Copies of this chain bind each other. A is one copy, B any other.
Amino acid sequence: MTTISQIARRARVSTATVSNVLNRTKPVSPQTRELVESVARELGYSPSRFARSLKTGRSATIGLIAPDLTNPFFPAVVQTVERTARERGYGLIIVDCHNDPAEEKAAFELVGEYRVDGIIWIPVAETKPEPAPLAPVVTVDRPVAGLDGITSDHRAGGRMIGERVRRAGHGTVGILRGPSAHHSARERHRGLLEGLGDGVRIVWDVPTDFSLDLAEEAQAKILGTAVDCIVGANDQVAIRTAQLLAAAGRALPDDVAIVGFDDIPWAEFVHPPLSTVRQPYRRLGRAAVELLLRRIAEPDGEPERIVLPVEWVGRASLG
């Protein structure tokens, strides 16, 4: 690895000058500039972020702590986070904590060792960050008191669903409301009730996970108590529900309509194609990085809470 001093020696200047050329921090005569640059190029110089950070106190690195990359919700936001960060000159160190709060704690320690300038955190559940974090944090999707946060407008999304279900003429619905520990599930549910209004009868309303695994109670309701339409906590729940019903011989969406939430990439390809509400994945990622960089530049100040609009995506499953 070539260093700044090798360049300096070869170009017969001081390391300070090399640094000034490479970073344009101080004016340098055109000829030395040219000389230094050519030597640097010739030697294939690549600056050491470590050494630089050590001196400057800024690592030009941000940490991303996510609960589970195999959850189809995340890759798109991670991708955008990575790209946006890189555009701004930041590297990304990433930790996937497998939905385990203990690993999440370890994650904070790990990114701490990297002295990251900021952290983008998609919390596993509604917990505080264990150790008061050493760098600014912005949460995505799951707000935490006292921290900056970005979420989609789950409530408006819920409302959209309610209205669509009502206008589609479904008289009775079953609700798979998701984990009540999740802000998004609660907001969606709240919006949903608003959207449904009084015209629609809620026959059952049971909690679920956000995953493909449906609890006993939920399965019993789905198969046992007929309704015109089932509203899933998210697309995965809805998809599993559809599968369950299809296996039981129900015709979808004619016997039962189904709606999801998120518009994960394959909502379009399941059977029946899923009506759902699209979260703005890319905007979430981008906004998170931008807010984080603002906060890094301006560490004090009221935490911001950004809520991004969602979009109805009508497909066959609503009937």
Q: A83-B96, A269-B239 are in contact. Are A69 and B59 (CB under 8 A)?
A: no
In chain B, what residue has the closest Cβ to A54?
A: B50
- Stretch from A70-78, A117-125, A226-234, A302-310 that touches the partner: A70-78
Q: Which residues of B contact A79 (CB under 8 A)?
A: 68-70, 96, 98
* Complex: chain B residue closest to A59, CB-CB: B50
Contact present for B114 and A91 (CB under 8 Å): yes
Please indicate the chain B residues that have their CB under 8 angstroms from the CB of A82 in the complex: 69, 94-96
B70, B93, B134: the one contacting A75 at CB < 8 Å is B70
Residues of B within 8 A of A94 (CB): 82, 92-94
Contact B95 A46 (CB under 8 A): no
Within 8 A of B (CB), among A47-101: 47-51, 53-54, 59, 61, 68-70, 72, 74-76, 78-79, 82-83, 86, 91-96, 98
Interface segment among A105-113, A137-145, A160-168: the answer is A105-113
Closest-CB distance, A71 to chain B (whole angstroms): 8
Interchain CA distance A130-B110 in the complex, whole Å:
31
A271 within 8 A of B: yes
Neighbouring B residues of A92 by C-beta, 8 Å:
93-95
A6 contacts the other chain (CB 8 A): no
Pairwise interchain contact B50-A115, C-beta atoms closer than 8 A: yes
Bound together, the chains give a CA A193 to CA B110 distance in angstroms of 49
Q: Quick check: B75 and A113 within 8 Å, CB to CB?
A: no
Cβ-based interface call for A102 (8 A)? no
A89 and chain B: residue at smallest CB distance? B110
* Inter-chain contact A110/B93, CB cutoff 8 Å: no
Are A110 and B91 in contact, CB atoms less than 8 angstroms apart?
A: yes
In A214-247, the 8 Å CB interface with B consists of: 239, 243
Contact B75 A1 (CB under 8 A): no
Kindly identify which residue among B44, B70, B109 contacts A265, using a CB–CB cutoff of 8 Å.
B70
Q: Is A249 an interface residue (CB 8 A)?
A: no
Asked whether any CB of chain B lies closer than 8 Å to the CB of A270, the reply is yes
CA–CA, A59 and B51, complex, Å: 12
CB pair A113 B49 closer than 8 Å = yes
- Tell me the bound Cα distance from A110 to B195 in angstroms: 48
Q: What chain B residues lie within 8 Å of A109 (beta carbons)?
A: 46
Q: Is the beta-carbon distance between A110 and B96 smaller than 8 angstroms?
A: no
Binding site for B on A (CB under 8 A): 1, 44, 46-51, 53-54, 59, 61, 68-70, 72, 74-76, 78-79, 82-83, 86, 91-96, 98, 106, 109-110, 112-115, 131, 134, 239, 243, 265-266, 269-272
Q: List 9 A-B contacts (CB under 8 A).
A: A49-B115, A68-B79, A69-B78, A70-B76, A70-B79, A91-B113, A94-B94, A239-B269, A269-B271
